[in-house]
Structure 1
Amino acid sequence: MALIGIDGAGKSTQARWLADWLDATGTPARYHRNAAGRVFFSRLAQRLGRRDAEDLLGVRLFLLVETLIRGFVIARALTLSRLTGTVAVMDRYTYCQYTSITVRGGTPRPARLLFRLLPQPDLVFYLAVPPLVAQARVEARGKDHEELDYLTASDRAYRALPEAGRFTVVDAGVDPSAVQASLRAALRPDPLPGTVSPRPARSTSHLLPIG
């Protein structure tokens, strides 16, 4: 399964919690952080006196590097999942790269060709959060910064993806524990193929329709 969404949506926290919960309730699972190096290159750029990763490498080269790294880490995660017989709980997936490219004015077609052999996840959760809330969360963690326009454009790009109709959209603007309850509730009636159905969660669901 994959958890996707704009920066500040809570993907990493929710994916870790979900993997731990699945593992504890009888479904072997493993968390995979499919980052593509943006934070690393941005920090490197700042040390070299440049604004960010795109300023350091140029937009086109940065997107190429990001795409290659993303493809590698996703393929590695899938391989580990198969070798260990665990459910892969993906923190980001190919859809994140398509969105990153689109927001920066590129075309995701080359990335789609590169990623064409990667399987579609059994479940894709889009963690929907208002861009203002997401920006505040990014600022609070103190590691990086996101412009409101960028977050807003990213949200639009995610929702405009051809695959968006099959995403399960979860309200991620609420308390993190309520978000986690929504994710667990979404798994209960339709467990992943070949897995044990997890025990029911006690909290209520906050699922939202796409669009």
Structure 2
Amino acid sequence: MADSRRARRGGARLRAVALIGIDGSGKTTQAHRLAEALTAAGRPATYHRNASGRRWLGRLAQRLGRPDPQRLVGRNGVLAVESVLRWLAIAAALLTCLVTGRTAVMDRYSACQYASIRVHGGQRWERLARAGYRIFPAPQVTFLLTVDPAEAYRRIEQRGTDHESMGWLTAADTAYRTLPEYAGFVVVDAGGSPEEVSRRIRAHLAEWLPGDPSRADDEPPRAGATPATGWRPTPVRR
């Protein structure tokens, strides 16, 4: 966080911003909104969806008569497919950013893969993934969108395009908060309306969004801060 603030004071170009969090936290909506806001402010930005292919693999498993991807290719197969596909997506996004000079707004980043691996219980795979993802530079700002897993579940069921269990969502929430990178994330309460969440995100990027009316509406969130909602995450033993 300190590095990103020093960079902003020095007028550095905003190269990449990442939005991460559990399914149903609003990452895709906010990433699209942020790319549009930056572009409108004269800082051309492109949205990049760095998916792992888990949803696609789940649909494939169902078509082949299997209840889930693990029954199709096994846990190690799932982690291998996810890790490779997300690595390729991030590499393509960063290359595009380098060639075009546009800001890359990342819908998911490497931390999402580490969290997924932790939920699957693949500690060995996390070491391998970190070795492979190490070549990617950290985004100047990484927003962790936090939401009560019960609310995330409700949103996922409402959109009706996929399904996640409460157990998975709760475990994923814990996984993000136990990552060693957590202290450097900008934690944003994503439990409110999309407009409220957008204001909080833009307030933190006020240096790159001059004249944004959201600057007066919300204080920039602190890294590692607890979301300002009635929900409080269960304490985690590290």
TM-score using structure 1 length: 0.93
Output the CA distance in 2 between the equivalents of 1:141 and 1:10.
Answer: 12
Letter in 2 for 1:176: P
Look up the match of 2:78.
Answer: 62
Letter in 2 for 1:205: D
Letter in 2 for 1:118: F
Query: Is this contact kept in 2: 1:22–1:198, CA < 8 A?
Result: no
Query: Is this contact kept in 2: 1:26–1:198, CA < 8 A?
Result: no
Look up the match of 2:91.
Answer: 75
* Alignment match of 2:189 (pick from 162, 171, 189): 171
Alignment gaps of 5+ in structure 2: 1-16, 227-238
User: RMSD value over aligned CA atoms?
Assistant: 1.3
1:106-154 CA-to-partner distances (Å, cap 9, x unmatched) read 1111000011111011000000000000000010110111111111111
* Alignment match of 1:200 (pick from 212, 220, 228): 212
Q: How many residues align?
A: 205
* Alignment match of 2:206 (pick from 188, 195, 210): 188
Look up the match of 2:28.
Answer: 12
Does residue 1:32 correspond to 2:51, yes or no? no
C-alpha deviation, 1:57, in angstroms: 1.1
C-alpha deviation, 1:209, in angstroms: 5.4
Query: Is this contact kept in 1: 2:153–2:165, CA < 8 A?
Result: yes
After TM superposition, the structure 1 = structure 2 runs for residues 51-200 of structure 1, keeping only pairs within 5 Å, are 51-107=67-123, 108-189=126-207, 191=208, 197-200=209-212
| Secondary structure at the counterpart of residue 48 of structure 2 | strand
TM-score using structure 2 length: 0.83
Output the CA distance in 1 between the equivalents of 2:223 and 2:166.
Answer: 24
Decide which moves more: 44-53 or 91-100. 44-53
Query: Is this contact kept in 1: 2:58–2:69, CA < 8 A?
Result: yes
